[in-house]
Structure 1
Amino acid sequence: MSIIVQWMTYLLNIFYNLSSALGLPNYGVAIILLTILIKTIIYPLTYKQMASMRKTVDLQPKIKAIQTKHKNDKEKANAEIMELYKENQVNPMGGCLPIVIQLPIFWGLYSTLRNFPYGASANAAHWFLGFDLTKIYGFSLSYHIILPLFAAATTYLQTKVTNPNASSDPTQKTMLYIMPIFFAYISATVPSGLALYWVTMNCVSILQQLYINRKLTNQKKSVA
């Protein structure tokens, strides 16, 4: 993890210098630029994840038919569902990879912000839109509650854009409402710079997802 922290510190300083060159010397801007870079790098994985999820949604009628047919034999039902996935080149675990990759980045950035070596000349550079990026604000009813609320709202929107039918499935519906609450809590209990990272990550993810949805829809129409 120390290597990841060192790289995070190095990259944040690079993007801080870039923000200075743009006339906006601020570590908040640096975090936003770093987030965009990370999302750009893992875009191919995100695309594969979303393409797999779209196929899984399209296969739901067949999956439910198999489950109904073998309602008394779960083992056989699971075997046929896995065969269906294989025939359609769907990896049910494929969606986990982008998340797994982002976890060490998330914790590395957390450690970086908690121990960031700000120089004297950058004394005010870790303030962004009224937030001290190194400070944990908690749930105090003040201006700073905006970040946890934004984290919840963007998490909800990202889930809806990723899976428009989430509210029709009981399990997915539960996740649709639980995950925003969970990330609102996380955003209030970590340095606000990390909450900024999460909100930016969600916003970029939503834009990428809208693009991917359109691309997959056009591909499906061209095949049909």
Structure 2
Amino acid sequence: MSTIVEGMTYLLNILYSMSAAIGLPYYGVAIILLTMLIKTLIFPLTYKQMASMRKTVDLQPKIKALQEKHKNNKEKANAAVMELYKEHQVNPLGGCLPIIIQLPIFWALYSTLLHFPYDPTNPSAHLFLGFDLTVVYGFALSYHIILPIFAAATTYLQTKLTSPNATTDPTQKTMLYIMPVFFAYISVTVPAGLALYWVTMNVVSIFQQLYINNRLANKTKKAI
């Protein structure tokens, strides 16, 4: 993991130098660019994850019918569901694997920003849009509360777009409301640079999700 963290630190410094070269010498710009770069690189995994989730959602009526048909024989019901997955070429774990692969990347980025050695020769470099990216602002009611509010709002929207049954499935509905509160809390207890990273990641994820949803919907229409 330390190797990945060192690599991200090096990359963040390169992006900072690039942004400084065009007249934007701010680590905030470098954090946004790094987040966008990572989200672009893992987009194929994100697409695979959402395609698998979409197929699973589309099969839910048939799965429920099979479970009802074999309600007195759980083993037979599970076998019938697995056969349905096989027939439609759906891997029930397909949505989990990309997430597992992404976790080390996101944790490494978190560690990078948490311990990042900002340029000591340019104190203003870690100031961005009125935020000092090295400061933990806490729960004070000030301008800086905007970041956790954005973190909550973008987490809510991103979760809703990712989970088609978020308003009907009890478990997903709970997550829809708990996750924004959780990440808003996280955003006020870590340096503002990490909160900026989270907001940027959510915004990029929302645009990617809209594109994926539209593409999968068009594929479904063509199949019909």
- Structure 2 length normalisation: TM-score? 0.92
Quote the residue 2:119 is aligned against.
Answer: 119
**Structural RMSD (CA):** 1.6
Say if 1:67 and 1:33 are closer, same or farther in 2 by CA, change over 3 A. Answer: same
String of CA shifts for 1:71-112, please: whole Å, max 9, x gaps: 233333222222222221222222223332332233323332
Could you say if the C-alpha distance between residues 134 and 82 of structure 1 is closer, same or farther in structure 2, counting changes exceeding 3 Å? farther
CA distance in 2, matches of 1:192, 1:74: 50
Residue type of the partner of 1:33?
A: L
Structure 1 portions without partners, runs of 5+: none
Q: Which moved more, 1:61-70 or 1:99-108?
A: 99-108
Contact 1:110 1:191 in 2 (8 A): no
- Residue 59 of structure 1: aligned partner: 59
User: Which moved further from structure 2: 160-169 or 192-201?
Assistant: 160-169
CA contact (8 A) 2:149 2:184 kept: yes
Q: For residues 90-169 of structure 1, what are the structure 2 equivalents within 5 Å?
A: 90-169=90-169
Q: SS where residue 152 of structure 1 aligns?
A: helix
Residues 114 and 163 of structure 1, relative CA distance in 2, 3 Å threshold: closer
Task: Give the superposition deviation at 1:115.
Answer: 2.6
C-alpha distance in 1 between matches for 2:223 and 2:114: 51
Structure 2 residue runs of 5 or longer lacking an equivalent are none
How many residue pairs match? The answer is 224
What is the percent sequence identity of the aligned residues?
Answer: 77
Deviates more, 1:46-55 or 1:136-145: 136-145
Whichever residue aligns with residue 150 of structure 2, its letter is: F
More moved, 196-205 vs 159-168 = 159-168
Q: Which runs of 4+ in 1 moved over 6 A?
A: none
Structure 1 range deviating more: 64-73 or 168-177: 64-73
